[in-house]
Amino acid sequence: MIRDAGRKIRWTKNLKLFGYGALALVAAAVIYSGLVVFGVLPLPGANISETMLVLNDVNGAGFEVIYTNSDTLAKEEWVNVYVYDSGSQSNWFNRLIHRKTLLFSYDPGYPAETPHIEAVGPQDIRISIPRVSSVLYQGRRWKALSVDYQIAKVDYP
């Protein structure tokens, strides 16, 4: 009889432990879902990024053009142009201390065309693109480089 009581107490403790663990798992899932719904955390697989262009030495600067497509709550897409020191991306340590800087960001609105990046002088860069839906950000200077934009048409200025 005492032996059965000991088993019952042990069984009850194990059941409580299992119940608390399941409750903690459900609470974590609810918190994570709430953070995803409110946009604090991204939904896995909802953002797709593709590198469209990498230029390594244009007046001493490197450029990377990345197209991102997001389907989190609504369909969004944008193209970001990043600039960095051309020799700084050679190994993992240099990539860690020399970060890329956002130079130009826009909503393509149509099938995304790759912007054309060219040197027009010793300290001047031109970024040209025929058509964008809207411009989100334009940086005019980066270190000693001056940046000029040639956008033929902006649908929503």
Whether 76 and 28 map to the same domain: the answer is no
Closest CA to 64 of 45, 79, 48, 46: 79
Q: What domain range includes position 10?
A: 1-41
Whether 2 and 31 map to the same domain: the answer is yes
pLDDT digits 0-9 by tens, 118-129: 999 999 999 999
Return the H-helix or E-strand segment holding 115: none
In this prediction, residue 9 carries a pLDDT of 66
DSSP 130: E
Whether 128 and 148 map to the same domain: the answer is yes
Whether 14 and 83 map to the same domain: the answer is no
Whether 77 and 148 map to the same domain: the answer is yes
- Considering the chain, what is the average pLDDT of its residues? 83
Residue 7 has pLDDT above 70, yes or no: no
- How many domains does the chain fold into? 2
Whether 81 and 61 map to the same domain: the answer is yes
Whether 94 and 148 map to the same domain: the answer is yes
Whether 69 and 124 map to the same domain: the answer is yes
Compute the half-sphere exposure of residue 60: CA atoms within 13 Å on the CB side of its CA. 9
Better-predicted residue by pLDDT, 129 or 6: 129
DSSP 103: E
Whether 73 and 110 map to the same domain: the answer is yes
Whether 147 and 86 map to the same domain: the answer is yes
Supply φ then ψ for residue 138, to 5 degrees.
Answer: -135, 115
pLDDT digits 0-9 by tens, 26-64: 888 888 887 777 767 666 667 788 999 999 888 888 899
Whether 66 and 132 map to the same domain: the answer is yes
Whether 83 and 137 map to the same domain: the answer is yes
